[in-house]
Amino acid sequence: MTTALAAGEDRDVLIFRVGGEALSLPASEIAEIIRLRPVTRVPHGPEALLGVANLRGAVLPVVSLAGLMGRPVTVPAPSSRILVTGNGTEVGGRAVGLLVDEVSALTKSQGEHGLDLTALLARDFGALRQKTGIAAAKRDHMAAVESEAVARDELALISFDLAGQDYALPLDKVIEVRALLNSVSNIPGTDQAMVGVTDLRGHLLPLVSLNFLLGLPGGALDRNKRRVVVTRVGSALVGLVVDEIKAILRVPLDAIDPVPPVLTRGKGEARIEAICRLNGGRRLVSVLAPARLFDSETTAHILADAEGGAAQMAGSEIANDTFEQFVVFRLADEHYGLPVLSVDEIVRRPAQLTRVPRAPAFVEGVMNLRGKVVPVINQRQRFSIAGKTAGHNLRIVVVTIDGLQAGFVVDAVSEIIGIPARDLKLTPELAADGAQLFDRVANIESQGRMILLIDPKELLDRAERDVLAAMAAEVAPAS
């Protein structure tokens, strides 16, 4: 789609190439030209939408100009550039990045034909607009979810492995869970429990071996599996190094028993606050309490060894709870987030699922979750991600949507992360049909990461919920 400049009109135009053809735009419509940068793909977006990228803290939708013009979308080359729109060509008040093959020149033009960028964008992205009021609505929704969880008389736990044994911490005592990074600084002459210190968004975080605190063997260090559970000790934050994160659990309070007095004498057992019974008592999980992990002398040593790093964090946004927590999971090479409060549980995918005749294609089957039938959904297929899920790390994220509990198969759950409010950005309505699966983006500039955040209410549409509810009722065990 082109437009002609008025005869004799002399103005600066930018010449660039798309698919071997030279095209132009008025220079006034381009705010800047940037090199290629990582783009996070948006499932269910318009065909021309390549994804979103970080532009100095702002979320920039990146669109293939070839795709806008109805031409094949090709893989970007090193010479490719992104033209950032400006001067009235923004969509819904938001700049858009246009991917072109290369930029040729900035020159003067008289009466030449150029692209009608406004019309091109309006055709495919006419519904693209900045949402308003979503932040307050999201806070209200999360508060309602939290109240509902409390009303169910359940305790949310995050379970992990230590020397082959199951342990857990209350989820409300966990700030975040992150990978054990290579950037750990050892501190000579410190307490034996001290692993070192690392950076947590600009602050020093002391790392402590939970195996050592509980008197358990440490074993070989496997950084691919080991995780750091960030919790609060007094007014400071401490990272507890565990062997492997296993699951998020929500268990009824009547399944949690106090520790028998005979077990409270040993070094490790004294730190155990309760025992959680799962699978009819066949699986026992020891529940720890952060306040009981350290005696006063050890606490003083650890905080001193961190050279005041934890004390710095006491006054930071992280310690003052001005952040939101998200479960981050992976599908292929992309990472997505769900609010922690919206997640019922995270469990390993069973080796076998019960197949259901005439079930929708995206349903892998159903599983039994403590006596309740839960449909299991192939999330790769729903997000149009090529390839099949495989491997022993597969997890099922269980979410309740309008009273229907469903499990979504993901490749792996990588972390639970607390994201400061300043790193949460609103997203435009990117989907062509107006559906808003991703309501926000976590734009973590300090880590060079961008995570699409899912609105849990949009994981299934109304028709799919009705089908799954009927299917679950059909295969439900007789009472």
- pLDDT digit string, tens, across residues 342-372: 899 998 888 888 888 878 888 888 898 877 8
How far apart CA 70 and CA 449 sit, in angstroms, is: 31
Are residues 400 and 376 located together in one domain of the fold? yes
Scan for tokens 């300043």, then name that residue.
422
Structural domain boundaries enclosing 8:
2-125
CA dist 209 to 49, 89, 160, 194, 214, Å? 45, 55, 13, 6, 9
Are residues 179 and 274 located together in one domain of the fold? yes
Residue 131 maps to a domain: no
Higher pLDDT, 30 or 118: 30
Are residues 158 and 23 located together in one domain of the fold? no
Average pLDDT over residues 4-11: 52
Yes or no: say if 288 and 170 are a contact pair by the CB < 8 Å rule.
no
User: What is the pLDDT, as a whole number, of residue 4?
Assistant: 45
User: What is the pLDDT, as a whole number, of residue 469?
Assistant: 79
Say which CATH number the domain at 186 has. 2.40.50.180
Q: pLDDT per residue over 298-320, tens digit each?
A: 666 655 655 454 444 444 445 45
The full DSSP string for 354-373 is B--TT--TTEEEEEEETTEE
DSSP state for residue 204 in the 8-state scheme: E
Above 80 in pLDDT, residue 268?
A: no
User: What is the pLDDT, as a whole number, of residue 267?
Assistant: 52
Are residues 307 and 162 located together in one domain of the fold? yes
Are residues 372 and 287 located together in one domain of the fold? no
Q: What mean pLDDT, rounded, does the chain reach?
A: 78
Are residues 272 and 204 located together in one domain of the fold? yes
Q: How many CB atoms lie within 10 A of CB 189?
A: 6
**Residue 391, class by beta-carbon neighbours within 10 Å (0-12 exposed, 13-18 middle, 19+ buried)?**
exposed
Q: pLDDT per residue over 169-187, tens digit each?
A: 998 889 889 887 667 777 6
Are residues 175 and 218 located together in one domain of the fold? yes
User: What is the pLDDT, as a whole number, of residue 166?
Assistant: 92
Above 80 in pLDDT, residue 205?
A: yes
* Residue whose C-alpha is closest to residue 77's, from 98, 100, 48: 100
Are residues 402 and 430 located together in one domain of the fold? yes
Q: Could you give the number of structural domains in the chain? A: 3
Residue 179 maps to a domain: yes
